[in-house]
Amino acid sequence: MAHYSGKTVFVTGASSGIGEAMVRNLASSPCTIFIGARSTDKLESLKNELETNHVKIHAIPMDLSDSKSLVNAFNELSRRTDRLDLLINNGGISQRGLAKDTEFSVVNRIMQVNFLGTIEWTTHCMPLLLKANKAHIIAISSVVGEYGFPLRSAYAASKHALKGYFQSMQLEPDSPSVSIVSPGRITTNISINALNSDGKKHGEMDAGQAGGVSAEKAAEKILRRAAQRKNNIFIGSGEIVLLYISRYLPPLYRRIAKNISPN
Ligand SMILES: NC(=O)c1ccc[n+]([C@@H]2O[C@H](COP(=O)([O-])OP(=O)(O)OC[C@H]3O[C@@H](n4cnc5c(N)ncnc54)[C@H](OP(=O)(O)O)[C@@H]3O)[C@@H](O)[C@H]2O)c1
């Protein structure tokens, strides 16, 4: 996308799904892209596929649940750039388990990756963002950062926390601007990678996920609307209607949400 021409961007969770689709979209313009995730083989093959004379890509191994890994990732990043124009906080994991059955270690892990690790990484990156002219942050939340949803208690909590943090930053002086993105169902591996109540991978492509918006469409909309510095970006159809129902008619929302298939 032309808006990002010449910019230096960091994308977390770049090894698959929405993150990978955003990297592919960004690579259509000359720019420098840092791609972070745990799957270094996937990052390397994305770099090999997309790098050109005009698009510089650096693969940065990082685990959002491991502070030491984030320090190492930041050391690597700061050896290669002295500024960041855009930080895309996208890496995350979802959940498929009833709150009453879910082990605390699962709640802890989801909060660690989606909220605490993401904020830890943002804090590392802040000096580089503050060196850029009009830096921007894209925080990938979820529609369940707006309302609760069955089988998603810890996931919804982590996204509510993320939204609260970045909504506050949006109000603060001299901070990077922030777009908070709330997608509904996007067709990615998110349900396959989601954690069950015992911490094992759900391992299934849920029907709702398979029938969602494509990662490419979602990435295009996120980057286009973030270029306009939109505060809030919503992606989906029925999920967005539910958002308004949850705000203005909570009893109706509860009745509907209890009867939607959570898969
Ligand atoms: N798909 C949807 O319907 C949907 C809806 C709302 C919000 N979202 C949000 O969109 C974001 C991207 O998800 P996706 O749908 O693209 O799912 P995905 O295909 O499963 O991708 C998740 C990404 O996060 C990375 N990640 C997971 N755990 C990590 C960790 N501990 N440290 C570093 N990176 C980690 C993964 O990389 P590695 O495994 O290589 O580390 C992967 O690149 C997430 O924040 C998700 O909550 C998705």
Tell me if 185 CB under 6 Å of ligand 1: yes
**Atom in ligand 1 nearest the alpha carbon of residue 144:** 6
Tell me if 213 CB under 6 Å of ligand 1: no
CB count in 10 Å sphere of residue 243: 18
CATH-assigned architecture of domain 2-259? 3-Layer(aba) Sandwich (3.40)
Among protein residues, the one whose CA lies closest to atom 17 of ligand 1: 190
Cα separation, 226 vs 20, whole angstroms: 17
> What's the confidence (pLDDT) of residue 237?
85
> Which segments in the chain show pLDDT lower than 70?
none
Fill in the amino acid letter for 173.
Answer: P
> What's the confidence (pLDDT) of residue 58?
98
> What's the confidence (pLDDT) of residue 68?
98
Query: Can you tell me whether residue 117 is helix, strand or coil?
Result: helix
Query: Can you tell me whether residue 37 is helix, strand or coil?
Result: strand
Domain ranges of the chain: 2-259
Among protein residues, the one whose CA lies closest to atom 46 of ligand 1: 92
